[in-house]
Structure 1
Amino acid sequence: MGCLLCPHTLENSLHVFVDCPYAQEVWHRAGLQLPTGPGDNFIDWFLGAINSLTKEHIAKCLMLLWGIWKNRNSQLWEHKRQRWHASEVVLLTMGWYEEFKKVNAQPTKIRRQSVKWTRPQENWVKVNCDGAFQPATRKGGPAVVIRDANGDFQVGAARPLPLVTSPFRAELMVLKEGINLAVALQHEQVLFESDCSLLVQALHSEVSKSHEVHL
């Protein structure tokens, strides 16, 4: 069987994860310079790669490998017409990595501070987005509220979403819902507000500045 991510006529593990132009673009977007050899198979390549990487880079490497593999399987089993963009694989997998670090971090005392909603500038509207995620069912849901400069409610939206892969993915999808709703209402001056710091950081990263996130 040929490669599902490029026109190459033969597919093996080394090609899918290393030699495929799609995989190479993913590694490039992630900023990881990985060795290209020696090694005639994926195991040899991987063992050689981890010897030159830090513990943090090894964790990121494993997440990227999973992202590439998940995308490849989506093409095979779900018959998706449009594959994930390489930049989206990086955003999603680095989101998984940040979530992994949070889960495995030592518990610390958190000082909670109430946050008061603030009005947008005159003639602007504010879109507040929040995403929910249930790991057991892999279901999620977006909640979107649009208010004007006076703080008056304009419109809101909420609906269930099946097959959500992570909390970060849920936040991406709720942002898309907010954008679509603002476009439908023909708003041109829109401020988006989210409580997901990882999403905000991702959208301000170099990856998102130069490449579109596909949902």
Structure 2
Amino acid sequence: MSSDIFAKLLMTVWALWKNRNEKLWLAKSQSAVALSLGTMAWYESFLLHRYPNGRKTKGRAHQFWKAPTAGILKLNTDGTFLSSVDSGAVGGVLRNDQGGFVAAVMHQVSHVTAAVHIELVAIRAVAIQAIISEVPDMSIYSPLIEDIKVGARVFQDISFVHAPRSVNCVAHRLASHAFENEGFHEWFAPAPELILDAIMYDCNHCN
């Protein structure tokens, strides 16, 4: 058994034990989906502490979050879901040019289908080009893309860039935790405790 699988196994066992105790003593429990996504969020936090300088991957350099230029705010967003359920979750974090926390949001999204799951895998690679393109989009997501374009017009200077998971840890953690917390959650400074370590990690490694 590899060290990665063993670490995931330990966290899964701990999550089950924690869920059992909460049901026994607090009369509340989480679904299997929430437990699974929460465990993966804890695992990513574990990796951040175990590999503070980034995990080395063969043939590919590790990338870190980059602060925006002076006077600009940067918004990182992420979505997460499982094909076996009909719901997903999104998270987003807004930071300034020093990496300082400004605001964050996370919430669950209903009616995410298996078909949308497949489409979203593809749209991750092409959505950015579709949003910035002047050519009309003819996909089933054209209303959403047009909505984004209309909303972007209220900003004097705005750009969209695809970010790999290694530079999007804070938003991904928020999206993962949204599965464990129903409703709409938003924060303004100071940052919530659940992302403090990830924000600090980004600040310590940003260029």
TM-score for both structures, normalised by structure 2: 0.34
Larger RCO, structures 1/2 (Cα 8 Å, 6+ apart): 2
Q: Which has the larger radius of gyration?
A: 1
* TM superposition score normalised by structure 1: 0.33
